[in-house]
């Protein structure tokens, strides 16, 4: 049988190289908030028979969890999840692989998910994505490879292509670990790379590389919680918040290191402790503020004395985490077990309140904050700004009219047209794709076409392989319904 050309996932195809007004966005002084579905149903929260019936590729399963998220340098959002069968016991089965989806800058909806990576008969999960000044680092874990705590690779073209997968060359003493990266990665003042991983039980720690990933070492000590999320502070220390499965009088612990993970001081925070099916988010914003997100109650509905709110929240700090302004996320949704009978086995004691599940947060160059959730029906994507958290009036929901049009043409190395697309910046400051978009292979044959109407796909969207065969098409109706073929 002749070898067929490699089928590259759509999440890696038709990725714009540049020319996008990535700093265009709403007025940061006025509240802005919106919510999107990060994954469609199916595949989210359905059985494999339903996924196959709608024609989605093999490798996309019904339980999609533990997300990695980054903002690419072209403005796109890139998200990855591990994808497993629906049973709550299936997360560690060998059929677990990685799927990915992209919210293209100027689009209102995420692309359908694509299979991304899967080592046969090996469990792959728990992706951490980090944009390191244009280079995207991808760390992930999973079980089945003895003495391999994580795998990693990098991309320098917005996630369109990736280096070969690498296994870490470990130096020094390696303590106990769970092969599950968390969501934090950063450099110190000398350029060394650090990223967070679960330890054993209710603990986490930092990996370190001083040579751009050639070798990796365990920094030594463990934090006071599982799924700890980290941010370097202005005084040179690093603080880790939470994350779950431990508490101090019902409150989440924080772990402070002044020697980059060699030792920790553990203190109580003002945030309720978390448990199973929960992971907080913690990042530094371009303004200098700290942002933290979590739930008011743990998975079983427990919360410390004095906490009266229920559901989920986001918080900002102007003083390096000493005090916080907290905003409840009213649009957050309950655990999926409260929405669909298929997920009732996840419920245990449960509670009816909203949860962020396993969350991850990032900030775009235009100042917008992106918070991704799981364990809802479906996974959600919140987009908002600091003014919304600080409560400076009602959030904007209206769409502005066109103010400026942008047209771009990209070329292949051989001079043929690679892509042609257009968009507009509205008087609300937001860039939206608008008009026809067409992509071609280097020999000039059609690869992909879609029509945009102010950020939304309209008409027929279609993709062709290199042999000229149509791989799939979506027919997008004006009423918001789409037919997949």
pTM of the model: 0.97
Q: What is the mean pLDDT of residues 177-198?
A: 98
Output helix, strand, coil percentages for the chain, rounded to the nearest 5. 5, 40, 55
Can you give the pLDDT at residue 233?
99
Q: Among 377, 351, 197, 186, which Cα is nearest to 272's?
A: 351
Q: 348 or 367: which carries more pLDDT confidence?
A: 367
- pLDDT 10s digits, 241-267: 998 999 999 999 999 999 999 999 999
pLDDT in tens, 210-245: 999 999 999 999 999 999 999 999 999 999 999 899
Task: Determine the average pLDDT of the residues in 428-445.
Answer: 97
- Banded model confidence at residue 309, pLDDT cuts 50, 70, 90: very high
Task: Give the β-pairing of 33-37 and 380-384.
Answer: antiparallel
> Is the Cα dihedral 103, 43, 125, 463 positive or negative?
negative
DSSP 147: T
Lowest mean pLDDT among 40-44, 73-77, 368-372: 40-44
Mean pLDDT of 337-364: 84
Q: Is the pLDDT score of 84 beyond 90?
A: yes
Strand ranges, E, within 311-387 = 312-317, 325-328, 360-363, 369-372, 380-384
Q: Where are the beta strands (DSSP E) in 24-179?
A: 33-37, 63-71, 77-84, 97-103, 114-117, 125-132, 135-141, 151-155, 170-171
Lowest mean pLDDT among 97-101, 309-313, 466-470: 466-470
pLDDT tens track for 368-400: 999 999 999 999 999 999 999 999 777 776 676
Average pLDDT of the segment spanning 8-24: 96
Which pLDDT does position 18 carry in this prediction?
86
The pLDDT mean for the chain works out to 95
State the pLDDT at residue 347: 64
pLDDT of residue 343: 64
Dig out the tokens for 221 from the structure. Answer: 């000590």
The pLDDT value given to residue 346: 65
Identify whether 439 is preceded by a cis peptide bond (ω within 30 of 0).
Answer: no
Average the pLDDT over 121-141 and give the result: 98
Q: Which domains does the chain have, with CATH numbers?
A: 31-389 (2.120.10.10), 402-484 (no CATH)
* pLDDT score, position 73: 98
Q: What is the DSSP letter of 335?
A: -
In SS3 terms, 417-481 reads as EEEEEEEEEECCCCEEECEEEEEECCCCCEEEEEEEECCEEEEEEEEECCCCCEEEEEEECCCCC
Instruction: Please tell me what DSSP assigns to residue 388.
Output: H
What is the rounded CA–CA span in Å between residue 397 and residue 394? 9
Where does the pLDDT of residue 342 fall: very low under 50, low under 70, confident under 90, or very high at 90 and above?
low
**Among residues of the chain, what percentage have pLDDT more than 70?**
98
Q: Quick count: other Cβ atoms within 10 Å of Cβ 186?
A: 18
Confidence of residue 341 (pLDDT cuts 50, 70, 90): confident
| Of the candidates 15, 19, 14, the residue with the CA atom closest to the CA atom of residue 406 | 19
pLDDT of 350: 72
């Amino acid at each position: 049988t002749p070898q067929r050309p490699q089928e590259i996932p759509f999440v890696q195809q038709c990725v714009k190289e540049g020319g996008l007004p990535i700093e265009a966005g709403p007025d940061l002084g006025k509240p802005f908030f919106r919510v999107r579905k990060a994954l469609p149903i199916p595949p989210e929260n359905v059985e494999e028979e339903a996924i196959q019936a709608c024609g989605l590729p093999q490798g996309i399963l019904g339980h999609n969890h533990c997300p990695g998220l980054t903002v690419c340098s072209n403005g796109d959002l890139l998200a990855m999840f591990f994808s497993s069968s629906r049973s709550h016991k299936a997360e560690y089965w060998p059929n677990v692989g990685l799927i990915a989806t992209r919210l293209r800058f100027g689009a209102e909806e995420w692309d359908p998910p694509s299979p991304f990576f899967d080592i046969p008969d090996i469990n792959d999960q728990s992706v951490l994505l980090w944009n390191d000044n244009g280079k995207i680092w991808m760390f992930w874990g999973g079980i089945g490879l003895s003495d391999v705590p994580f795998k990693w690779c990098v991309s320098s073209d917005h996630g369109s292509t990736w280096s070969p997968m690498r296994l870490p060359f470990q130096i020094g003493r390696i303590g106990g670990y769970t092969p599950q990266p968390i969501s934090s990665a950063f450099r110190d003042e000398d350029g060394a790379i650090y990223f967070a991983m679960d330890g054993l039980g209710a603990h986490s720690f930092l990996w370190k590389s001083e040579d751009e990933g050639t070798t990796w070492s365990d920094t030594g000590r463990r934090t006071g919680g599982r799924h700890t999320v980290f941010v370097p502070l202005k005084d040179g220390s690093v603080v880790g918040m939470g994350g779950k499965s431990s508490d101090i009088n019902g409150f989440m612990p924080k772990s402070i290191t002044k020697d980059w993970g060699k030792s920790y001081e553990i203190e109580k925070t003002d945030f309720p402790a978390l448990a199973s099916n929960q992971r907080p988010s913690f990042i530094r914003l371009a303004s200098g503020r700290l942002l933290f997100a979590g739930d008011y109650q743990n998975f079983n509905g427990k919360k410390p004395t004095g906490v009266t709110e229920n559901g989920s929240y986001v918080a900002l700090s102007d003083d390096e985490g000493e005090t916080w302004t907290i905003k409840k996320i009213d649009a957050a949704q309950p655990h999926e077990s409260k929405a669909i009978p298929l997920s009732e086995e996840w419920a245990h004691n449960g509670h009816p309140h909203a949860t962020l599940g396993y969350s991850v947060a990032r900030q775009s160059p235009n100042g917008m904050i992106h918070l991704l959730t799981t364990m809802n029906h479906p996974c959600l994507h919140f987009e908002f700004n600091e003014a919304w958290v600080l409560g400076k009036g009602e959030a904007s929901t209206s769409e502005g009219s066109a103010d400026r049009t942008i047209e771009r043409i990209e070329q292949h190395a051989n001079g043929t047209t690679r892509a042609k697309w257009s968009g507009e910046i509205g008087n609300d400051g937001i860039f939206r794709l608008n008009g026809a978009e067409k992509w071609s292979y280097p020999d000039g044959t059609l690869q992909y076409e879609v029509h945009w109407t102010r950020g939304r796909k309209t008409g027929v969207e279609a993709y062709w392989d290199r042999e000229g065969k149509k791989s799939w098409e979506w027919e997008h109706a004006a009423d918001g319904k789409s037919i997949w073929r």
